[in-house]
Amino acid sequence: MPSADVEELSMVQLDPVRDGEEVIEFYRSLSRQSIKSRFMCMMSDVEGCVRSLLASRPIIYGVRRGGELIAVGEAYGKGGVYEIALVVKDKHQGRGIGKMLVGFMLSDLFNNRGATRVYAYMSIDNIRMVRISRYYGGRIMTDGDTYKVVFDPVNLRLRRN
């Protein structure tokens, strides 16, 4: 699949209250497979789950193409430690958007929000997420039947802004 034309894309931060309905609509548009990979389980009530995630007021990152929201990532943090998760709309996957979004999230968390550690979970067959994690210098470890990737200032590979 061809790479996304980066000039058409904008990285944005979304507000859980102001933009909440748009984020829910985005999640509703995803395939069951993408939902499963994002949440690491089959989910019957996606809307209810996303509403409760939004209620915890995560930092939300988005990628827009024109007016359309095509990828969403969240960071859930406490005391400088953040868990991140993200998903790209099905028809836009495999075009470099996830890689860009993770870079945007890690830059913001480490450079602007005082993160000391950022981690994410993925299933062991999530090749794209494993490659992205390695690209940014994440340390990948097995956690039961999943992988956990940990980014810290020592292993992180980012361009400083």
Residue in the block written with tokens 């480490």: 110
| Choices 15-23, 46-54, 59-67, 85-93; region in contact with ligand COA by CB under 6 A | 85-93
Are 99 and 127 contacting, i.e. CB atoms less than 8 angstroms apart?
no
Q: Shortest distance, CB of residue 154 to ligand COA, whole angstroms?
A: 22
Sheet holding 139-143, edge to edge: 9-14, 59-65, 68-78, 81-88, 117-123, 146-151, 139-143
| Choices 6-14, 19-27, 84-92, 144-152; region in contact with ligand COA by CB under 6 A | 84-92
Q: Shortest distance, CB of residue 67 to ligand COA, whole angstroms?
A: 20
- Kindly identify the residues of this chain, within the stretch 47-76, that bind ligand COA according to CB under 6 A: none
Residue among 15, 80, 113, 135 that touches ligand COA (CB under 6 A): 135
Are 83 and 75 contacting, i.e. CB atoms less than 8 angstroms apart?
yes
Residue in the block written with tokens 């209620």: 55
Q: Is 118 in the site for ligand COA (CB under 6 A)?
A: no
Residue among 7, 41, 45, 127 that touches ligand COA (CB under 6 A): 127
Taking residues 91 to 110 in sequence order and writing x for each that binds ligand COA by CB under 6 A, - otherwise, the string is --xxxxxxx-----------
**Distance of alpha carbon 92 from its chain centroid, rounded?**
14
Neighbour count for residue 37 (Cβ, 10 Å): 19
Q: Shortest distance, CB of residue 95 to ligand COA, whole angstroms?
A: 5
Q: Shortest distance, CB of residue 157 to ligand COA, whole angstroms?
A: 12
Torsion angle of C-alpha atoms 53, 58, 63, 69, degrees rounded to 10: 40
Q: Is 132 in the site for ligand COA (CB under 6 A)?
A: yes
